[in-house]
Amino acid sequence: MGERTRARTAAVMGRWVEPAEVYARGHALREYTSHQAHRECVLAKDRPSVVDFVDASNEGRLPDLAPLRVGRMLASPFAFFRGSAGLMAGDLAASPRSGLDAQLCGDAHVANFGLYGTPEGRIVMDINDFDETLPGPWEWDLKRLAVSLVLAGREGGVSEKGCREAAEDVVLSYRRTIDHLAQQPFLESWTALGDESVLTQVNAGALLDDFAKAAKKARKNTSARLAAKWTHRGADERWRFVPEPPVLTAVSEDTADAVIGALPEYVDTLRESRRILITRYGVSDVAFRVVGTGSVGLRNYLVLLHGNGDEALVLQVKEARPSALAAHLAGDPAKHEGKRIVHGARLVQAETDILLGWTTVRGSHYIVRQFRNRKGEIDATTLERDHLDDYGRFAGALLARAHTRSVDPRLLAGYCGTDGDDLDEAFAKYAVDYADRTEADHAELAEAVRAGRVRALIEDAA
């Protein structure tokens, strides 16, 4: 185990070593966990039933929203997958590990890759959800991403062969990107961005039009546009959110005061120049908004700020719970879950929201960020086969870049190898099998709802 231990601690060693030696350390890890070891779809021995999992994961959430969360998870197997990161984490913990850890997204499915704006105004694509982020085996993120491609493809009507090939391509792109970054100067690999240029680098040119359309929409997705649609100015000249139950609702004065009272702590978590910027704004209103699938039931507030004249800025104050991965990974509990998420995002993303920070509201932990920061998406469930393939290559490259922020790419390249076709096949086999397992889990939840053992609220499609 000595070689394995040195490979995992190479990043903190003080002396310089030849790149070939670092590659060799990564390659040596195959002796302990071969590429083919990742083929098997292992389930946790103590895996809970779907009903027990849903009940446990609803603990601490707002009870009135639990049926809505179940209803959203019922929409499709992919929707169930999005809301069950903790269930898969238990299964991944029972699987073989390569011995290399990275800062994980923790929930790296295709819907958690999105477009957003950099401070310079560029539109980039990257991982955009870090609720579950923790240091852990890099392969957990890649396996979750590959499974999500299969599920998204199935939902979109892509053939089984096409879904499997997309899963293989995400791993192939990950490997090739890791190898490319392993050969670059550290500063260049560190600052690599996920803009449209990556599409040509990973042979995903068919996705250029999808990226361009999504980027065009993203540029319009700003706080100013949101405020124009969701707020109005009353007779007292105060701007307020317009309620749209059950998704957007008013809050009590006590709750508004508690959220506003937590903002000074948030400001202290920003860099000095940004503290000056944010304190030029004043609060106009606070509302509650339901978001996501896995996040339904968490406390999530929107804070309407106004700046110079009618300038509007909307911040999201979102409850931060312990990572679903925490029970399956070694490490001390986070002292502040919001800080954990923010530090993970700052480490993994090439460009992070300049107003991302954390705070505490009524003793609970929260993250704070811009609610609309020119955000957009490419919906993988709507892509045809060729485009799904390209999306997989794009996402695989982005995940590789993200992981190399916390683990030496030369170590990863040594393990994954340029000769890693067997790794691509192994992960794809796992992805197809685990997608089958997820479909069975989804069916089990649907049956529990039909039998009245679990309540579900199905939203009006209109």
The domain locations on the chain are 2-219+376-450, 222-321+329-370
Residue 359 or residue 351, greater confidence: 359
Query: What pLDDT does 2 receive?
Result: 43
pLDDT tier for residue 253 given thresholds of 50, 70 and 90: very high
Q: What are the pLDDT digits (tens) for 368-381?
A: 999 988 889 999 99
Residue 101 pairs with which residues in a beta bridge? 137
Q: What are the pLDDT digits (tens) for 320-334?
A: 999 999 999 988 999
Query: What pLDDT does 207 receive?
Result: 87
pLDDT tier for residue 205 given thresholds of 50, 70 and 90: confident
What mean pLDDT is predicted for residues 249-270? 98
Nearest to 129 by CA among 283, 424, 349, 372: 349
Nearest to 91 by CA among 127, 130, 137, 27: 137
What mean pLDDT is predicted for residues 87-108? 97
Give the Cα separation of 169 and 173 in Å (integer).
Answer: 6
Q: Above pLDDT 90, what percent of the chain?
A: 80
Average pLDDT, the chain: 92
Query: What pLDDT does 350 receive?
Result: 86
Query: What pLDDT does 461 receive?
Result: 56
Q: What are the pLDDT digits (tens) for 392-428?
A: 999 999 999 999 999 999 999 999 998 878 999 999 9
Residue 192 has pLDDT above 80, yes or no: no
pLDDT tier for residue 133 given thresholds of 50, 70 and 90: very high
Q: Above pLDDT 70, what percent of the chain?
A: 96
What mean pLDDT is predicted for residues 138-149? 98
pLDDT tier for residue 198 given thresholds of 50, 70 and 90: confident
Residue 132 or residue 3, greater confidence: 132
Residue 148 has pLDDT above 60, yes or no: yes
What mean pLDDT is predicted for residues 52-81? 96
Q: What sign for the dihedral angle of Cα 282, 286, 292, 296?
A: positive
Residue 195 has pLDDT above 80, yes or no: no
Q: How many CB atoms lie within 10 A of CB 120?
A: 6
What mean pLDDT is predicted for residues 60-74? 95
Query: What pLDDT does 235 receive?
Result: 87
Residue 21 has pLDDT above 60, yes or no: yes
Query: What pLDDT does 15 receive?
Result: 82
Residue 101 has pLDDT above 60, yes or no: yes
pLDDT tier for residue 6 given thresholds of 50, 70 and 90: very low
pTM confidence score? 0.94
Query: What pLDDT does 12 receive?
Result: 55
What mean pLDDT is predicted for residues 278-285? 96
Query: What pLDDT does 274 receive?
Result: 94
